[in-house]
Every structure is written in structure tokens, then in C-alpha cells.
């Protein structure tokens, strides 16, 4: 089991004929992802097979608009590889076409554009992952993004992170210890992202195939704190957390647009404390992430614990999850 994507997910690629789009589409097809369409305005009608040195396993039909691509191919997910000045428009186009899951890889989208996108998203049924993220992968089934597929392995750990290479590092540590993953999601390093920790953790909590959740946060904002509140109240599965940036100086943007301690807020210390207070297992060293997950998994009661399939029942929420999220957000705002 997994969340959001599996071997049946029909994916379209926005910006498929660009160099990034071409390279990563080839990689996704190679991994087994069902890439059913590509969109490049003005290149509709062709069957794209890749470029000179990057050839797709099978050609992908290209359309001028996302709407057309959806109509013709029944794509349910889209992945965006377009330059940052065009990316917000690409996301809005996907929302308008009714795409259920939008994954935006592009880095460097202006905040003003993302404010508009975020509002449009709230009024739609679409879910956005990113921007400025590596994407989502359900090992062995479907990879939508730019992560190296080979470090993953099917299993029961749900991984959610604000980072790219740090996620790969953590995933590889898990895989090396024989711990597979249900689904791994990089939610992105920008100040405004479509899916927050809390949104993904909610899904992992309900997923029968996820036994434990690994959450990798970093300095800036308070998404980790919000997630910790949520976990404390509603998540029975073990959660392991790591926060990057203990040594980051205040007021400086550490690579990611969202990784900044401003006005004394968003420090690693505050986040680690919030995580610990919520009963999350916090890893101190980034070198020990895999070991910590292993330790927690081994401690889990084997037989007496929740039987497979009972996780969903156990965590059945009395309220609508969206309401709960709003409640927590409001309490934090106050």
C-alpha cells in the first residue's frame, strides 16, 4: 500500500520537451511510471521520443494544453518542469483541468505568484506537492519527480521531507538497513508549498501500508510545530523526526527560500522541542536516521499491536481532517 500514487497512476508531464523535462521523463518511464502525455504549448500533435542522447522507452503524445491532454489520455497526475517565471501558470492550468495531483519541481517561483496559486488550490479539488521539491515516489510502482529511483525499496516506512538530497540520504540509510518505504514525498523548500507536513502525515496515518512515519524538517516557518500538534492528537503510529539547521545562523536564508530563522522564529531548537513534546522520536545526528527508525520499528509490539488493516479504523477521525487542521492552525495563530 501507499499514498497518492501507485502503478495505476496516469501521469502527464508539463514541459516535457525541455531538457529537464526530457531527462526526467526518460527516467520516470524507465522506473515504470505510466507517463501517458506531455504538454508543451505549440508542440501539440507530435509523438515525443526524447532527444539525441536521451531516448524514451516508448513515445509520449504531446498536447498543446493540459485540458486536451486530460481529455484524451485521462491523466490524473501532472508533473511540472518549466522555468520559474512560467511555473505558477502551469500549476493553475493543471488545477483548471481538474488534475488531482500536481507535482511542481520548478525552483524559484516568486512568492506573489504562489499566493495566487495557493488560493486557487484552496478553491479546487487538486492537491499540489512542491514547488521546489524532488517529487513523490511509491517504490517499485511509480516515481513522479527527480529522485534517484534505485535507492528506494518497497516497504512500510512513510517518508516526508522539506529537502531533496537530505531525503535521498535518509532513504538510502533506510534501504541499506533493509527498511523499505511505502511512499516518499519531498514537500519542497519554499515558504508557500501546496502540501504541508500535516497534509501528508494525515494520509500516512490512514494508510494501511504505512507502519511508521519519518519526517525530515528544517529551520524556518512553523510547519513542523503544527505537524507535531497534529501527531500528538491523532497519530498512533510511531513518528521519527529529524530537523536540519541547528548550526544555521539567524536571518540567513540557507539555500531553500523557506529555510530562514526570522525574528527569532523557526529555530531548530523550537522545532525539536515541539517534536519531543509530541512524543516523536527525534534523531540528533543525520548519520543515525536509519538506525533510529530501525530501533523504533524493533520496539514496536509485533503481534499485540495493531493488526494489518486496523490502522485505518484505529485512527478514524471523528471530525473532518480539514477541520482539525484549521483548528490547529487557528490555535497557533492565536
Applying CB under 8 A, which of residues 73, 126, 156, 226 lies at the interface with another protein?
226
Minimal CA–CA distance to 65: which of 127, 18, 14, 105? 14
Give whole-number Cα distances, 257 to 61, 110, 129, 193, 265, in Å. Answer: 35, 10, 16, 11, 15
In angstroms, give the least distance from the CB of 322 to another protein.
14
Site string for another protein, 13-32 (x = CB under 8 A): ----------x---x-----
Residue 56 CB neighbours (<10 A): 20
Applying CB under 8 A, which of residues 71, 253, 276, 314 lies at the interface with another protein?
253
Please indicate whether residue 256 is annotated as part of the active site: yes
Q: Which residues contact 51 (CB under 8 A, 6 or more apart)?
A: 19, 22
Applying CB under 8 A, which of residues 143, 162, 271, 292 lies at the interface with another protein?
162
Catalytic residue from among 256, 272, 280, 281 = 256
Residue 248 interacts with another protein (CB under 8 A)? Answer: yes
The string over 241-266, giving b where at least 16 C-beta atoms fall within 10 Å of a residue's C-beta and e elsewhere, is bbbbbeebeeeeebebbbbbbeeeeb
Residue 47 interacts with another protein (CB under 8 A)? Answer: no
CB 79 within 8 A of CB 144: yes
Q: Which residues contact 89 (CB under 8 A, 6 or more apart)?
A: none
Within positions 115 to 154, which residues make up the interface with another protein, using CB under 8 A?
Answer: 115-116, 118-119, 146-148, 150-151
Catalytic residue set: 256
Residues in the site for another protein, rule: CB under 8 A?
A: 23, 27, 84-85, 108-112, 114-116, 118-119, 146-148, 150-151, 161-169, 172-173, 189, 191-192, 216, 218-219, 221-223, 226, 242, 244-249, 252-259, 263-264, 268, 284-288, 329, 332-333
Amino acid at each position: 500500500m501507499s499514498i497518492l500514487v501507485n502503478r495505476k497512476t496516469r501521469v502527464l508531464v508539463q514541459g516535457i520537451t525541455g531538457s529537464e523535462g526530457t531527462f526526467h521523463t526518460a527516467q520516470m518511464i524507465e522506473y515504470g511510471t505510466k507517463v501517458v502525455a506531455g504538454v508543451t504549448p505549440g508542440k501539440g500533435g507530435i509523438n515525443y521520443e526524447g532527444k539525441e542522447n536521451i531516448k524514451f522507452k516508448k513515445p509520449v503524445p504531446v498536447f498543446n494544453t493540459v485540458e486536451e491532454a486530460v481529455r484524451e489520455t485521462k491523466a490524473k497526475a501532472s508533473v511540472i518542469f518549466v522555468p520559474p517565471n512560467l511555473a505558477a501558470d502551469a500549476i493553475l492550468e493543471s488545477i483548471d483541468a481538474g488534475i488531482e495531483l500536481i507535482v511542481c519541481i520548478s525552483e524559484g517561483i516568486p512568492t506573489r505568484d504562489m499566493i495566487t496559486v495557493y488560493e486557487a488550490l484552496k478553491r479546487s479539488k487538486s492537491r499540489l506537492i512542491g514547488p521546489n521539491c524532488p517529487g513523490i515516489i511509491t517504490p517499485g510502482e511509480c516515481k513522479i519527480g527527480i529522485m534517484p529511483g534505485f535507492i528506494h525499496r518497497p516497504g512500510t516506512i512513510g517518508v516526508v521531507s522539506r529537502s531533496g538530497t537530505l531525503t535521498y540520504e535518509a532513504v538510502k540509510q533506510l534501504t541499506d538497513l533493509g527498511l523499505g518505504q511505502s511512499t516518499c514525498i519531498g514537500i519542497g523548500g519554499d515558504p508557500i508549498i501546496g502540501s504541508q507536513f500535516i497534509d501528508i502525515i494525515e494520509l500516512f496515518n490512514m494508510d494501511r501500508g504505512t507502519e511508521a512515519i519519518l519526517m525530515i524538517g528544517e529551520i524556518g516557518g512553523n510547519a513542523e510545530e503544527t505537524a507535531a500538534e497534529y501527531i500528538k492528537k491523532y497519530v498512533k503510529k510511531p513518528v521519527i523526526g529529524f530537523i536540519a539547521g541547528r548550526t544555521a545562523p539567524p536571518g540567513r536564508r540557507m539555500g531553500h527560500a523557506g529555510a530562514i530563522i526570522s525574528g527569532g522564529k523557526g529555530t531548530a531548537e523550537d522545532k525539536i522541542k515541539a517534536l519531543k513534546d509530541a512524543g516523536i522520536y527525534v534523531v540528533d545526528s543525520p548519520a543515525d536516521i536509519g538506525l533510529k527508525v530501525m530501533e523504533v520499528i524493533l520496539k514496536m509490539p509485533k503481534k499485540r499491536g495493531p493488526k494489518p488493516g486496523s490502522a485505518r479504523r484505529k485512527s478514524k477521525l471523528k471530525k473532518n481532517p480539514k477541520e482539525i487542521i484549521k483548528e490547529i492552525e487557528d490555535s497557533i495563530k492565536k
